[in-house]
């Protein structure tokens, strides 16, 4: 009888924590962690292809792609998970100019390859912005970081917020 009471008490606590809607979702198999979603239609349609189906790269993109193809001798791209790679690609949108965004994308493609999760890759989330790896800050963003740290914000948080919001 004691075991039943203990299990009942635990179930009551779980029900109170999860709530009725949560229990209904769990009962129907819709609860639990969210599956990784494919890019939304707007992201997939961001690039308009010409009639031939292959976009023409800009001169800047060609130069960056040439640079990205040539890693220093003996240096292999770092293996990261698909999620880590996607985070790094998406963080490039916070670069201040189109040229910096293209440079960021080329660098990610040069330095990283999709494979296993990389626990040594520095990923962090502040203000709902997730970034991984080293952030290349503009002089204005570096000044923003110095000012935020001087006012008491942690360096890591200031770095992410200034990169994303400046």
% pLDDT > 70, the chain: 55
Residue with tokens 């639990």: 32
The predicted-structure confidence for 19-75, as pLDDT tens digits, reads as follows 434 434 434 444 444 444 444 444 434 445 445 444 455 555 545 545 545 566 677
Residue 36: alpha-carbon gap to chain centroid: 12
Give the start-to-end residue ranges of the domains of the chain: 78-165
Structure confidence by residue, pLDDT tens digits, 82-103: 999 999 999 999 999 999 999 9
Give the separation between CA 140 and CA 162, rounded to whole angstroms. 9
Q: What is the pTM of this model?
A: 0.57
DSSP per-residue codes, 145-163: HHHHHHTT--HHHHHHHHH
């Amino acid at each position: 009888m004691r075991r039943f009471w203990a299990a009942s008490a635990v179930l009551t606590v779980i029900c109170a924590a999860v709530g009725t809607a949560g229990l209904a979702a769990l009962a129907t198999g819709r609860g639990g962690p969210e599956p990784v979603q494919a890019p939304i239609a707007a992201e997939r349609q961001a690039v308009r292809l010409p009639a031939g189906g292959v976009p023409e790269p800009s001169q800047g993109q060609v130069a960056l792609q040439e640079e990205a193809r040539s890693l220093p001798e003996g240096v292999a791209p770092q293996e990261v998970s698909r999620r880590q790679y996607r985070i790094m690609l998406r963080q490039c949108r916070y670069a201040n100019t189109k040229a910096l965004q293209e440079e960021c994308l080329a660098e990610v493609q040069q330095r990283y390859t999709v494979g296993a999760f990389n626990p040594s890759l520095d990923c962090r989330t502040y203000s709902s912005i997730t970034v991984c790896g080293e952030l290349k800050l503009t002089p204005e963003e570096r000044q923003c970081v110095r000012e935020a740290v001087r006012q008491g914000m942690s360096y890591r948080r200031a770095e992410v917020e200034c990169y994303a919001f400046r």
